[in-house]
Amino acid sequence: MLITRAFSLVAAAVPVLVGIAPLVRHLHWGRAVLTLLAGILFQAGTNIVNDLGDARRGVDRLGTPGPPNAVVAGLITPPGALVIAVACFAAGSLIGLWLAALAGWALLWLGVAGLLGGVGYTAGPQYKYLALGDVGVFLLMGPLMTLGTQFVQLGRYTWSGAWLGTGVGFLVAAVLVANNVRDIERDVAVGIRTTATILGRSRGGQFYAALVVAAFAALPLLAGTGQTSWWALGAYVSAPLALAQIRRALAPGAEPRTWARILRRTVMVHLAYGASLAAGLVTGAFA
């Protein structure tokens, strides 16, 4: 469904898979499926709120680069989109309440953070427009999601549950940075502040590269400090694809068309990184 940007919902699935991977030998499969569903519903709601916010502020127009905005395209009215967003957040919240009843009510802290983060992205605080979107997606789609996933399984919070999501979070943030570097001129024209509009295209490329490097550098650090197993280094099979995007990002004179390609490939890097990381952690659980 276009309004939910279904193609992007894998970003919610990856941290859940990474979170459950090291626990696979003693997994509550029903809870894992519900966690995945709640995460997808929250991201779908966030995507809709984002489209509504961008349409209202004139960020997205007909012919704007990137995925079409369903509201701008006239495929759905703003009130209709709002109803679907509320339904997604409500359904995700109900699942979260059920999981909290099963695993522990302390889970509600993360549920509230996820709800406020999703709604506030382009509504309320509108932190996307205040150059805080990178921080928000890093936390919400990285450490907080893996932390919550493991809480549902274990009934308690663990440091390793949070640290495990850092690499995934860095790459989700890199996806957003690539999107924003591509859209610098458009965002400046409508008064939107992002890290890319602040840094400019060249330094924005350096920031992007730093995020991708951080995702891979985190793994040996976490393994060396006992926060995860050395099997996590299986994620390095995705490193060549990531390195190619870093080279493009740092190349002099990279233009919006180049950044559109980087954006698409970074989504692939995120998926490949998460899948290979999860596969390594599952292997380690049985080793």
The whole-number pLDDT of residue 242 equals: 97
pTM (two decimals) = 0.93
Q: What's the pLDDT band for 52 if we cut at 50, 70, 90?
A: confident
User: Contact, 139 vs 245, CB < 8 A?
Assistant: no
CATH architecture of 10-286: Orthogonal Bundle (1.10)
The DSSP symbol for 183 reads T
Decide if pLDDT at 95 tops 70: yes
pLDDT one-digit tens code per residue, 12-27: 999 999 999 999 999 9
The whole-number pLDDT of residue 157 equals: 95
Name which residue leads in pLDDT, 245 or 51.
245
Which residue reads 């995925």 in tokens?
A: 67
pLDDT one-digit tens code per residue, 132-178: 889 999 999 999 999 999 999 999 999 999 999 999 999 999 999 99
Q: What's the pLDDT band for 58 if we cut at 50, 70, 90?
A: low
The whole-number pLDDT of residue 61 equals: 58
The whole-number pLDDT of residue 3 equals: 60
Name the residue ranges covered by the structural domains of the chain.
10-286
How many other C-beta atoms are found inside a 10 Å radius of the C-beta of residue 287? 8
Decide if pLDDT at 62 tops 60: no
Q: Which long-range contacts (CB under 8 A, 24 or more apart) does 76-83 make?
A: 76/3, 78/52, 81/3, 81/48, 81/51, 81/52, 82/48, 82/52
